[in-house]
Structure 1
Amino acid sequence: MVQTAAASQPRAQVPGPLPQELASVMWPELPAVADEMVQEIGRVVPEYGPLLEGPSRTVLLHCVRQNLTTFVELVADPAASTAQRDALCRSLGRLEATEGRGLHCLQSALRIGARVGLRRATGVGTRYNLPASLIVAFADAVFAYADVIESLCREGYVEARGGRDDAWESQRSRLLRLILAGSAAADEPGPAGAAPGSGGAHRGEAASEPGPVAPHPAVVDLARRVGWPVPERVTLVALRPGAARERLRLPGLDDVLADLDDPRPHLLVPGEVDEARMGMLARALGGRQAVIGVTVPLGGAADSLRWARQTLALMETGVLPQRQVARCEDHLVTLWLTGDPALAERLATRQLAPLDGLTTGQRERLVDTLRTWLTTRGTAAQMAEALHLHPQTVRYRMRALKKTLGAQLGDPEQRFATELALRALHLRRPGTARPPAGAHAQGREPEMPRGHEGV
């Protein structure tokens, strides 16, 4: 049973008398033990794996060293101050809550650290011919010290969560984070803005959905402990932040994993979200906006959530229409076209370079007409109706476009690239206004600069 914050008072420091001279044996071992603990924690606890690189590793190593240092100080002097360690452990607990991780990560790290410490102690005991009874007393001291550290971390964690400590829910949230962390690490990153289903396929290769990947052992173990059958396929759901956490209940959806403490809350639904499940979700959400991601193998969970969040963002910016519950599947082309705005801008700059000599107004009118022609291939009359123009105005613009972009429009590859660029630009500028109907009813427009006249 996990020790509560209250149960840790008064704090037992190191139970049983350990010989003070043992501290002199322990001091030289600390640097190597700390490094070994950090490496083992990062290897075994998936959430801490990314912390082994860069500044995060320095912070993690500092935390381990501080706790080890205090332990040895208490062996040398049981009355030694623990204020620095106590403050650090509470900060660690608050950090875990802020990062959306449960205490299970810290608890796992403490168990691993204790194992590494005892392994080292056994070697040191053999080297110095220490009695077995001392090694046993040392092991008791290590586990008692780990309990104290855990209770301190829990104090900070519970404080950061406003006094809540929902252990079972926290385990399920941790399971969801493990699944997402594992799927993100398992997939080789493709090009920026890779579209759903692209899989980062090389040129000439058929794009295919990732095959089933065995889940991480930590996922299997935690899923077993919380009674959650591991599915082959999942659907992630992105929720709009803001509504009170307590208002969201999932009756009839007990197999759904939720991380509602994340700044961008989300759900994992085993299998596909059919119409029946869609209705249950809509009722459970109580008006909160959500996007149903693409159904993918378990190893693609991170992609499904990324696309769902991208769709939610596009609704927020007005690129996509507002819906209480939307599906990614209905907007795959839009997701792809808006996946890399900088690249789309570069493509548009290249494809539309021949129009650079025009004024802004002239350029916008020709671009609007070109986009309509590329997407509809309609007659002048059909395009005029779509653009709210006189057919003669459309003919005038098309003559100017063919004179300026003639070779480009005749080449299928160049024409396709231009259409992609214009579709992406149009999606990013949904509010672009067109001239009112009848503004050019006589079929006349301002004269084009020399070299861009219609023929």
Structure 2
Amino acid sequence: MVPQQETFALPVAAAMRTELPSVAERTVAAIVVEVPGYAEAFRGQMGRKIENAVQLALGGFLELATGGADASRPVDPAIEGAYALGRGEARTGRSMDALLSAYRVGARVAWRHLSETAVAAGMPAAALARFAELVFAYIDQLSSASASGHADQLAASGRVRRRHLERLAELLVTGAPPYELITAAERADWTPPRTLTAVLLPEAGARDATAVLDARTLQVGEDLPGAEPSTERAVLLVPDAEGFARASLLTVLSGRDAVVGPARPWQDARSSYSRALRALQLGLSPDRDATVDTEQRLADLVLRADGEALADLRAQVLAPLDGLGPGPREKLLETLRSWLLHHGRREQVAAELFVHPQTVRYRMGQLRELFGKHLDDPQTVLELTLALGAR
């Protein structure tokens, strides 16, 4: 290895330092031409700032090289500047591709012009090879620092946006006023859909579900507003799940033990969430892993809205059967329920109960003896229908 002081003799270093403004200008000009992403960004005042930054970076490199330090290891200010540049690129929405291309172009152009100056100033061939090695190692270090800054900025902005999205979801399910929702949506950079549909499902399956749902799907944080701690349910708010889209949503959720609320205007998502939560609390899911579509269970939701009132209604309207034993009582109850649902059509009642029509006729005779003329009273028929509807 050629010693640093011998490699970069003072006359050579002085000659290269004199050329730095010109090299910086040519470097920026080459980047503008070869990296389209910077064609506009590097024009005008910004272009002059970039030239100054390039000149300072190259000057710092020469100072390291002539001072005997390892020029392949940039000092902290250079590293910090490259790191900040990477973060700035992430904030503007650009990927690292353009910046890394700019580094490659810059290294090539700077090397070409500085090496020409160095050779003209008397740098020997062996020293020139070492010079090339240090230049490109220096650029690699700066590139690595910028990549770290870019990644850190993306990670930080991603965490911030996730917090904003979770906050928006919480405001939606708690029924925040419209102006708060609009502000939260803007802060989260979230485009509101027409409607939102609340989905409650086990936390373990939430991640897999969101991976195949609309990218705008929101998820409430770990604490489920209004639910018992033992529910261990995640809350998803799915955009525009109406019509055929709802059918697709139900298909996606099949086998995930989900409860699906109705589609509601996005600012009224609390209504959908409340419906789904109510269905969950009432235990409407008939089997484990079944998906509960609340739109198909409206009657059950209405009938179970006040469990105590329903129990009182049943006790009151079915009182004529209290004197019967469990077996006969159950047979008459199932016959009465079927008779009400089929509007007294004996053949349909018999088919549903798998009995002979004469058996239906006999049982209905017993019921008429117990209830008397009340079976012809519209109010009694309504109350019986409600009392037996949720069985």
TM-score (norm 2): 0.51
Call closer, same or farther: CA 1:375–1:228 in 2, change over 3 Å: same
Match in the other structure for 2:327 = 361
Aligned counterpart for 1:255 among listed residues 213, 216, 240 = 216
Aligned counterpart for 1:291 among listed residues 252, 255, 259 = 259
Q: Which moved more, 1:221-230 or 1:383-392?
A: 383-392
Give distance in 1, aligned partners of 2:256 and 2:216. Answer: 20
Aligned counterpart for 1:420 among listed residues 379, 386, 390 = 386
Match in the other structure for 2:238 = 269
Give distance in 1, aligned partners of 2:381 and 2:313. Answer: 12
Match in the other structure for 1:225 = 187
Runs of at least 5 residues in structure 1 that lack an aligned partner in the other structure? 1-164, 184-214, 427-455
Secondary structure, aligned partner of 2:174? helix
Give distance in 1, aligned partners of 2:388 and 2:250. Answer: 36
Aligned counterpart for 2:294 among listed residues 320, 328, 332 = 328
Match in the other structure for 1:342 = 308
Give distance in 2, aligned partners of 1:222 and 1:274. Answer: 28
Structure of larger gyration radius: 2
Call closer, same or farther: CA 1:281–1:261 in 2, change over 3 Å: farther
Q: Is the 8 A contact 2:259 2:292 kept in 1?
A: yes
Secondary structure, aligned partner of 1:182? coil
Q: Is the 8 A contact 2:254 2:290 kept in 1?
A: no
* Residue pairs, 1:8-407, within 5 angstroms: 166-182=159-175, 215-231=177-193, 233-239=195-201, 241-243=202-204, 246-250=207-211, 253-259=214-220, 261-262=222-223, 263-276=232-245, 279=248, 283=252, 287-312=255-280, 318=286, 325-407=291-373
Give distance in 2, aligned partners of 1:359 and 1:342. Answer: 24
How far did residue 238 of structure 1 move?
1.7
Give distance in 2, aligned partners of 1:422 and 1:370. Answer: 9
Q: Is the 8 A contact 2:375 2:381 kept in 1?
A: yes
Match in the other structure for 2:128 = none
Q: Is the 8 A contact 1:250 1:281 kept in 2?
A: no
Q: Is the 8 A contact 2:256 2:289 kept in 1?
A: no
Give distance in 2, aligned partners of 1:383 and 1:245. Answer: 44
Secondary structure, aligned partner of 1:357? coil
Q: Is the 8 A contact 2:170 2:221 kept in 1?
A: no
Secondary structure, aligned partner of 2:236? strand
- Name the structure with the higher helix share: 2
**Which residue identity is paired with 2:186?**
R
**Which residue identity is paired with 2:183?**
D
Runs of at least 5 residues in structure 2 that lack an aligned partner in the other structure? 1-157, 224-231
**Which residue identity is paired with 2:204?**
A
How far did residue 182 of structure 1 move?
2.1
Give distance in 2, aligned partners of 1:245 and 1:232. Answer: 23
How far did residue 225 of structure 1 move?
1.0
Q: Which moved more, 1:306-315 or 1:388-397?
A: 306-315
Give distance in 1, aligned partners of 2:238 and 2:261. Answer: 10
**Which residue identity is paired with 1:218?**
E
Call closer, same or farther: CA 1:252–1:294 in 2, change over 3 Å: closer
Give distance in 2, aligned partners of 1:277 and 1:354. Answer: 45
Give distance in 2, aligned partners of 1:286 and 1:392. Answer: 43
How far did residue 356 of structure 1 move?
1.5
Call closer, same or farther: CA 1:246–1:348 in 2, change over 3 Å: closer
Give distance in 1, aligned partners of 2:179 and 2:371. Answer: 58
Call closer, same or farther: CA 1:366–1:286 in 2, change over 3 Å: closer
How far did residue 414 of structure 1 move?
1.4
Secondary structure, aligned partner of 2:200? strand
Give distance in 2, aligned partners of 1:317 and 1:269. Answer: 20
**Which residue identity is paired with 1:364?**
E
Secondary structure, aligned partner of 2:297? helix
Residue identity (%): 35
Call closer, same or farther: CA 1:265–1:299 in 2, change over 3 Å: same
Secondary structure, aligned partner of 1:292? strand
Q: Is the 8 A contact 1:408 1:414 kept in 2?
A: yes
TM-score (norm 1): 0.44
